[in-house]
Amino acid sequence: MKITGAVLRRIGADRPYDASRPIGVRELTLDPPGPTECLIEIEAAGICHSDLSVVNGDRVRPVPMLLGHEAAGRVVETGGEVTDVRVGDRVIMTFLPRCEECAACRTNGRVPCEVGSARNGAGVLFGGDIRLHDDDGDVLHHLGVSAFADYAVVDQRSLVVIGDDVPADIAALFGCAVLTGGGAVWNIARPAPGSSIAVLGLGGVGMAAVLTALTEPDVEVIAIDPIAAKRELALSLGAHRAMTPEEAATEGMRVDAVIEASGHPAALASGVDLLAAGGVLAATGLSAPDAMTSISPLRLVAQALTISGCYLGSSVPRRDIPRFIDLWRDGRLPLESIISHRIRMADLPEQINTAMDRLEDAQALRQVIVA
């Protein structure tokens, strides 16, 4: 079938992207789903820093590649061996499929699936196939999803069934922003009553971490970001304190947990400096592959600190997404507030490169493409 999608052809293009236009929206051919795959009509897709990381070269992937990895939609066709979803189901697409057989999958979400990670790195679906093509040949898949399009073929391992009551733009956020930021709170920081948690970097992932931490009983939540508007939003959502990174450093504040959601190596070091004895830092941000930072090994040992890498919030999507959705249904996870821009699919040719500029300039929380 013919679809329309946003394809990245050049990594590391000059800024602004609105001028260099490394992403082009064009007609593609999408093959029917394989035995364990589903054809999904995309209802909404979030634009995440992980998409930008491919555009700017922080996460080098093979190109051409149809971007987008955080999305929601409806199943319109299934392969013959699909058992987990049915035609008509509404689903959330997540970007790390799990084989459920490798050693990493036995860590209960702590370590990314070996098979799923390898397939993602190669730009193919979980089964190793490519379903996207244009006049020049194959177009690769982004993290097994490729959601910046009107349709996608996705393996059933990347799908979580949801109810019809969740609006599409909200549903999309559960696929990455909430799993990563909220998952870091639940699965790594695990704040106890009476404890404190700081979130460094108030983009979509950071704000999801703030909102999730605020659902925990008797936990002080501190929001840290250099941009005043983001700090003000965090306070309006219930954060107990908000400050710049410089203010946090000079105050001498100490917290029990830090969620590092900026992707800057200096922020990781700053986060370690904020930890009280016995504290834990969950690092969720993706920095450039050659980025380095430094910490004090003495303090790490003497104060029993923990620094934990945290991919996808160390989440298991089918376990964690229903819990997050229940919080949203109860009114305790107001994700509507972190959507800063909505872009209609019809406007994508004019808007997709501009959206990447907004992300690079830290001028957006979550931008969502809607059908």
Domain, as residue range, for 351: 2-175+334-370
How sure is the predictor about 31, in pLDDT bands with cuts at 50, 70 and 90? very high
Cβ proximity of 176 and 143 under 8 Å: no
Is residue 9 within 8 A of residue 63, CB to CB? The reply is yes
Residues 157-209: tens digit of each pLDDT: 999 999 999 999 999 999 999 999 999 999 999 999 999 999 999 999 999 99
In a domain, 77, yes or no: yes
Query: What is the β-pairing status of strands 241-243 and 220-224?
Result: parallel
C-beta of residue 233 within 8 angstroms of C-beta of residue 337: yes
Do both 200 and 348 map to the same domain? no
Domain check: are 130 and 27 in the same one?
A: yes
- What does the pLDDT average to over 230-251? 96
In the prediction, which pLDDT does 128 show? 97
Residue 346: its pLDDT value, please?
96
Residue 263: other Cβ atoms inside 10 A: 22
Same domain for 39 and 15: yes
Is 76 part of any domain? Answer: yes
Q: Coil, helix or strand for 345?
A: helix
- CA-closest candidate to residue 47, choices 70, 19, 13: 70
What is the per-residue pLDDT across 97-151, written as a single tens digit (0 to 9) for each? 999 999 999 999 999 999 999 999 999 999 999 999 999 999 999 999 999 999 9
Task: Specify whether the CB–CB gap between 187 and 216 falls below 8 A.
Answer: no
The CATH number of whichever domain residue 244 belongs to comes to 3.40.50.720
Calculate the alpha carbon distances from 78 to 11, 38, 168, 187 in Å.
33, 4, 21, 32
Q: Report yes or no on 321 lying in a domain.
A: no
Q: Are 46 and 154 contained in the same domain?
A: yes
**Which DSSP string corresponds to 189-245?**
I-PPTT-EEEEE--SHHHHHHHHHHHTSTT-EEEEE-S-HHHHHHHHHTT-SEEE-H
Q: pLDDT band at 288, cuts 50/70/90?
A: confident
Same domain, 69 and 189: no
292 part of a folded domain: yes
Strand 366-370 to 339-344 pairing: parallel
Question: Would the pLDDT of 272 be above 90?
Answer: yes
The answer to the question of residue 327 being in a domain is: no
Residue 274: is its pLDDT beyond 90? yes
Q: What is the CATH number of the domain that holds 36?
A: 3.90.180.10
pLDDT at 252: 87
Domain identity same for 117 and 194: no
What pLDDT band is residue 287 in, cutting at 50, 70 and 90?
A: confident
Q: Do 166 and 192 belong to one domain?
A: no
> Is 44 in the same domain as 72?
yes
Output the pLDDT for position 183.
98
Q: Based on the domain organization, do 106 and 139 belong to the same domain? A: yes
Cis check: omega of the bond before 217, within 30 degrees of 0: no
Same domain, 82 and 115: yes
Amino acid at 313: G
Residue 286 — very low, low, confident or very high, per pLDDT cuts 50/70/90? confident
Same domain, 225 and 143: no
At residue 152, the pLDDT reads 98
Q: Is 289 helix (H, G, I), strand (E, B) or coil?
A: coil
Give the helix, strand, coil percentages of the chain, each rounded to 5: 35, 25, 40
pLDDT at residue 370 tops 90: yes
Q: Give pLDDT, residue 62.
A: 95
- Domain match, 248 and 211 both: yes
Structural domain total, the chain: 2
Exposed, middle or buried by CB within 10 Å (0-12, 13-18, 19+), for 228? exposed
What is the rounded CA–CA span in Å between residue 61 and residue 47? 17
Q: What pLDDT, on the 0 to 100 scale, is given for residue 195?
A: 98
Report d(CA 76, CA 96) in Å as an integer. Answer: 22
% of the chain with per-residue pLDDT over 90: 96
CA distance 250 to 114: 42
